[in-house]
């Protein structure tokens, strides 16, 4: 069955050009007693129901907006204020708050065909239920016969809405549907030996291979293991709120570890490596059917599973690199909602923001402008900042309200690394920074271009897939996004534990990024087809004095020297204070934006 381009219906005009927006305040879910198992289940049920409902009702237009993320929901409130400012997208649309979740169901009951009911005895069925909610236009509900449960109130209670169950992820007699024995239910596929992994194998057979799900949209988020092992993580950090875009896009939500040689702590009795094999099987099924590189929103949940943070043998960075290595081999990239700043709401709402065809950068430096400042050929150190990490829509959404309003922004040259693929889930934020940028704010692509991949693994040998080259597909996809956002510089290529870029990959990046490329495994500075490639400097430590001393120590006196350093979540004020401290120690060090740095490198190497 060929996947139907259902998403085109989102472009259809509404009968009402300015329909009313409804808002639902979910902040109360973050104030509950999560030590109490019953309370944990109550808040999970409400958040998953609200999120899956939102994904369904926002599929064709922006209808329902949730407030959940930030102190007193200040992040969600900030973005609503920006969208409703005079002359902005939603300025003419009225907003009406909903009293509660029941009122939301009443308001949008006509959008729903029923409920998908999942089984907490197999926590992976929670993610499958979110996936199926998008397929069936349904809400996801945890099975719980208690009269106070959301399932009972919405499905069983004669006085309630009596939602029909469109899919029940349990056996007819109430026993678990997924057991890790025999065959994957409803298929001829042998069981993996893991009930958890059989859930994903079921999704491959019933959703991906049948064309019912969108093979280019995968959500990598923790399953409902949190109900029994919360690890002090609040309801927002379960990332259930991140599901809404994948529901709207009819994607598949999953949670699997990437290691073949390490037991997974949420399913320790499975045959060793079953999670990793299932991960590769999911990617292979999607790659065979997707027309574009596969978008994986989310990240290995190292704060909850799979790493030394939770008692395992593997480090968090190594686990990240293994995940990206595998994904790249299957033509997939990460929109990396990494733990910390990873909760996001309303991506299904934001997706309808009307992007312009192009967002040109303003006031980029030229060779002439650098010559006028006496910098061309100058025997002095030049330093630029790669302002990261924004290879995640969730990180950009969470951090911009604070960082972009910092009073020092616009007073110093900064290279903001907002990956252009963030436009898929957060076009509102991408357009906002371009509209409000100062002449000193410039923009580069983060790791590793349009999205997070290990570029060398786009070319054979592709260890985990044995697929032919995916380089041309990746470059075509990336070029479209680079063109819209006027990106000509890839600010950081991460190789991880994979191989370094070969000549063909370097040449492709030179065509994509004619202003320059910064990478891990390249010489300190070289020209590839006339394009400067520069080795990334160290990540700057959070300690201001240590960061200043590092820059000074690496900058030779009386010689041309070029270095870009990465900062992670630094504010403009922090960058400005660092520059002031460095200048107090070494007035000869010049701070420039990454585009200027690359022009200087090119001029230096072209002598």
Give just the sign of the alpha carbon dihedral 601, 605, 606, 607: positive
Whose CA is closest to 16, among 88, 93, 107, 84? 93
Q: Please write the tens of the pLDDT for every residue from 225-260.
A: 999 999 999 999 999 999 999 999 999 999 999 999
Q: What is the DSSP letter of 82?
A: H
Q: What is the mean pLDDT of the chain?
A: 95
Residue that is written with structure tokens 């990873």 in the block:
342
pLDDT at 2: 33
Residue 279 has a CB neighbour count (10 Å cut-off) of 24
Distance CA 298, CA 335 (A): 6
Rg (CA), the chain: 25
Residue 396, CA distances (Å) to 171, 243, 390, 504 in order: 42, 17, 6, 32
3-state secondary structure of 400: helix
Whether the CB-CB separation of 490 and 449 falls below 8 Å is answered with: yes
Distance CA 164, CA 161 (A): 9
pLDDT at 341: 87
Give just the sign of the alpha carbon dihedral 519, 525, 528, 532: positive
Multiple choice CATH, 367-605, 1.10.10.10, 3.40.640.10, 3.20.20.490, 3.10.105.10: 3.20.20.490
Residue ranges of the chain whose pLDDT lies below 50: 1-15
Q: Please write the tens of the pLDDT for every residue from 389-419.
A: 999 999 999 999 999 999 999 999 999 999 9
DSSP calls for 197-265: HHHHHHHIIIIITTT-S-TTEEEE---GGGGT--TT--GGGG-GGGGHHHHHTT-EEE-----SSS--T
Residue 542, CA distances (Å) to 548, 578, 592 in order: 10, 10, 21
Q: Which residues are 235's β-sheet partners?
A: none
Helix axes 124-136, 195-203, angle to 10 degrees: 20
Residue burial 358-379, b: 16+ Cβ < 10 Å; e: rest: ebebeebbeeeebeeeebeeee
Strand pairing class (531-535; 525-528):
antiparallel
pLDDT at 204: 98
pLDDT at 276: 98
**Domain spans, the chain:** 17-350, 367-605
Chain-centroid distance, C-alpha 275:
21
């Amino acid at each position: 069955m060929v996947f139907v381009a259902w998403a085109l219906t989102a472009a259809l005009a509404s009968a009402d050009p300015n329909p009313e927006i409804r808002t639902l305040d979910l902040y109360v879910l973050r104030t509950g007693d999560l030590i109490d198992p019953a309370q944990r289940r109550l808040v999970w049920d409400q958040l998953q129901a609200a999120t899956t409902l939102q994904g369904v009702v926002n599929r064709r237009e922006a209808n329902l907006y949730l407030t959940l993320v930030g102190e007193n929901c200040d992040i969600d409130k900030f973005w609503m204020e920006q969208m409703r400012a005079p002359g902005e997208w939603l300025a003419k649309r009225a907003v009406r708050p909903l009293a509660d979740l029941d009122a939301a169901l009443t308001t949008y009951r006509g959008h729903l065909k029923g409920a998908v009911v999942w089984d907490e005895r197999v926590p992976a069925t929670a993610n499958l239920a979110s996936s199926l909610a998008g397929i069936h236009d349904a809400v996801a509900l945890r099975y719980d016969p208690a009269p106070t449960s959301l399932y009972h109130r919405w499905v069983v209670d004669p006085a309630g809405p009596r939602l029909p169950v469109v899919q029940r992820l349990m056996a007819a007699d109430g026993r678990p549907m997924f057991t890790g024995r025999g065959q994957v239910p409803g298929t001829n596929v042998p069981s993996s030996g893991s009930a958890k992994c059989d859930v994903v194998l079921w999704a491959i057979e019933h959703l991906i291979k049948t064309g019912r799900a969108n093979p280019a949209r995968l959500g990598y988020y923790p399953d409902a293991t949190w109900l029994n092992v919360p690890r002090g993580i609040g309801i927002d950090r379960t990332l259930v709120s991140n599901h809404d875009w994948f529901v709207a896009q009819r994607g598949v939500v999953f949670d699997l570890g990437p290691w073949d040689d390490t037991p997974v702590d949420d399913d320790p009795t499975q045959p060793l490596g079953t999670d990793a094999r299932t991960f590769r099987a999911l990617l292979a099924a999607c790659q065979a059917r997707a027309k574009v590189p596969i978008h994986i929103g989310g990240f290995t949940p190292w704060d909850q599973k799979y790493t030394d943070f939770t008692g395992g043998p593997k480090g968090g960075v190594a686990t990240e690199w293994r995940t990206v290595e595998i994904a790249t081999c299957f033509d997939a990239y990460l929109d990396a909602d990494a733990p910390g700043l990873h909760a996001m709401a309303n991506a299904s709402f934001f997706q309808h923001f009307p992007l312009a065809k192009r967002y040109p950068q303003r006031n980029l430096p030229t060779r002439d402008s650098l010559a006028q400042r006496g910098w061309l050929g100058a025997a002095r150190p030049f330093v630029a900042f790669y302002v990261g990490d924004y290879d995640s829509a969730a990180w950009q959404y969470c951090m911009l309200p604070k960082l972009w309003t910092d009073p020092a922004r616009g007073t110093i040259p900064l290279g903001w690394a907002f990956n252009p693929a963030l436009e898929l889930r957060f076009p509102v934020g991408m357009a906002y920074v371009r509209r409000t940028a100062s002449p000193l704010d410039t923009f580069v692509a983060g790791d590793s271009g349009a999205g997070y991949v290990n570029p060398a693994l786009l070319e054979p040998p592709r260890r985990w897939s044995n697929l032919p080259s995916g380089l041309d597909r990746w470059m075509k996809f990336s070029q479209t996004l680079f063109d819209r956002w006027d990106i000509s510089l890839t600010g950081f290529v991460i190789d991880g534990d994979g191989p370094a870029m070969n000549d063909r990959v370097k040449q492709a990046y030179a065509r994509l990024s004619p202003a320059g490329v910064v990478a891990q495994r390249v010489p300190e500075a070289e020209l590839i087809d006339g394009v400067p490639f520069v080795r990334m400097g160290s990540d700057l430590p959070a300690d201001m004095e240590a960061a200043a001393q590092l820059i000074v120590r690496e900058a030779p006196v009386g010689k041309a020297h070029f270095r870009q350093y990465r900062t992670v979540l630094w504010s403009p004020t922090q960058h400005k204070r660092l520059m002031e401290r460095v200048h107090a120690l070494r007035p000869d060090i010049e701070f420039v934006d990454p585009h200027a740095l690359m022009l200087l490198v090119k001029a230096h190497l072209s002598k």
